[in-house]
Structure formats: structure tokens, C-alpha cells
Amino acid sequence: MSGDGLAGMAVHHEALNVEVGNHIVWNVFGLSWNVDTILSTLIAGAILLGLGFYMRAHLSIRKPRGIQLFFEAVTDWVQTQVEDSMGVKTAPFVVPLAIALFTFILIANWLALVPTGHHPEYAPPAASDANLPYALALLVIVSMHVTGIRKKGFRGYYHHLTKPYLALFPINLIEEIVRPITLALRLFGNIFSGVIMVSLIALFPSYILWAPDIIWKLFDAIIGLIQAFIFALLTILYFSSVKPAEEGAH
């Protein structure tokens, strides 16, 4: 076999052995802890809290700037969506919940823009580990069911499972059960695909690696923003199921 053929096979073999989804794992108390995911989550949470306290200390009615303008824009959008879908007074905590989810997921996704130079990275985008999206999805769906039962009662809230026909109850029940799974996998799949792309781009020769890396990082930042937006919007839409039946009632 020619040298070119062997070289081609070597490159192909290297491409097939691209490792993604690896984590820095510590075994503590008989449990495996993905330390990189925990670290990313803590960093994103600390940044979010830091921005919140900073904005609170520098609030200005006459001359709002930077972070305050960002939070005000997000708050106005969320309040509008909640009011249109269910009424703010129906579940007022949905506004801060959606805002917190949007900003937290956005910051967590944008951690991918800061490479650590280690494999696995010390602080990858936390949503690239399925554990975090599942936890966020369960938080949203469980809160939705609890709120719905409190507002409408058990029978009143779950009556929608028999609509439009009682025969569709099994299908509606399955749809209700898979909600947290689809909500989590939508976020996980899009962020994890970004991790795969970064791993593939790393196979480029070093002298041209910077170009596709920069282009993908910019694209990845947009994907992170869109996925945070979609997760927050779906959270609001899911909570719309607790909207009172009476027209205009809150």
C-alpha cells in the first residue's frame, strides 16, 4: 500500500477516535461526580449572582446602563410573554423563574467561549452534560404540575388529558410524561453538538486551526443564546396550562 494511502487511513482512524462527552470524574461516597459539570454550574451561578448584586448596587432610574438595560429588556420580554399566555397574577413566580433560567443557561452556554486548554476541559458548557438539562427540566415540569394542582385541583388540572376525546387519554398521558425528556434533550442535544464540532475542528492543522475555531465560537455563541431563549419560552408556555378557564380571569 502506498504511503499516501497509509496517511489517509491514519487521518481517518484519528477522526474516528475523536473523544467527546468525557468528564473529570471523582468517586466520592461510592458515587461518581462529574467535577467539570459541577464547576461550570457553580461558575455560571456565581456570575449570575454577581451580576444581580452588581446591578442592584448600581440601579439608576435616570441613567440605566449596561447590565441594568440587559436585565430590564429580558424582564420586559418575559413579563409580556407571561401576561399574554397566562396572566402574571396567575403564577407571579414564573417571571423570575424564566428570567433566572434564561440568564443562567446563557452564561453556562457561553462558558464554551473560554477554552481551558485541558481535555476534558475544566469548565465546559454545563448543558453538554445531560444531568443539568434533566435537572432543569424536572424543576420546570414538577413546578408546573404543583402549581396547576394548587390552582385548579387534581381533577380540574388533569382534565385536559381527556380532551378532545376520552379515547385520546393514553396519547395525552404519554405526551405529558415525555415533556421533561424532550425539554431536556432539546437543550442537551444542541449544546453537546457544539462540543462535538469543537473536537472535530481541533483535528485541523495548527496553522489554519484559528480560522474555523473563531468562526465556530461566534456561531456557538448565537446557538447558546437561542437555546437559552427557547428553554425560557417553553417554560412560560408549559405554565400556561394553569391559566384559569374563565376568560380574562387571573
Minimum mean pLDDT among 36-40, 77-81, 169-173, 218-222: which range?
218-222
Task: Give me the pLDDT at residue 117, please.
Answer: 65
Task: Give me the pLDDT at residue 229, please.
Answer: 93
Model confidence band, residue 24 (pLDDT cutoffs 50, 70, 90): confident
Mean pLDDT in residue range 72-91: 85
Task: Give me the pLDDT at residue 35, please.
Answer: 86
Percent of the chain at pLDDT > 90 equals 27
Nearest residue to 40 via CA among 195, 151, 169: 195
Contact 126, 132 (CB under 8 A): yes
Task: Give me the pLDDT at residue 226, please.
Answer: 92
Nearest residue to 41 via CA among 139, 140, 89, 109: 109
Task: Give me the pLDDT at residue 220, please.
Answer: 82
Model confidence band, residue 12 (pLDDT cutoffs 50, 70, 90): very low
Task: Give me the pLDDT at residue 56, please.
Answer: 84
The DSSP result for 160-216, as a single string, is: GGG-S-GGGHHHHHHHHHHHHHHHHHHHHHHHHHHHHHHHHHTTS-HHHHHHHHHHH
Mean pLDDT in residue range 116-125: 74
Mean pLDDT in residue range 88-105: 89
Please tell me the number of Cα atoms within 13 Å of 193 on its side-chain side.
10
Contact 133, 185 (CB under 8 A): yes
Tell me the pLDDT of the chain averaged across its residues: 81
Residue 64 cell numbers, joined = 440605566
**Signed CA dihedral, 7, 9, 12, 18: sign only:** negative
pLDDT 10s digits, 121-154 = 778 888 988 899 999 999 999 999 998 898 888 8
- Whether the pLDDT of residue 79 is over 60: the answer is yes
Task: Give me the pLDDT at residue 48, please.
Answer: 92
Mean pLDDT in residue range 42-71: 86
User: Would you say the pTM of this structure is higher than 0.85?
Assistant: no
Minimum mean pLDDT among 22-26, 161-165, 187-191: which range?
22-26
| Interatomic CA distance for residues 65 and 75, integer angstroms | 15
Task: Give me the pLDDT at residue 205, please.
Answer: 74
Task: Give me the pLDDT at residue 10, please.
Answer: 43
Model confidence band, residue 210 (pLDDT cutoffs 50, 70, 90): low
Task: Give me the pLDDT at residue 143, please.
Answer: 93
- Whether the pLDDT of residue 45 is over 50: the answer is yes
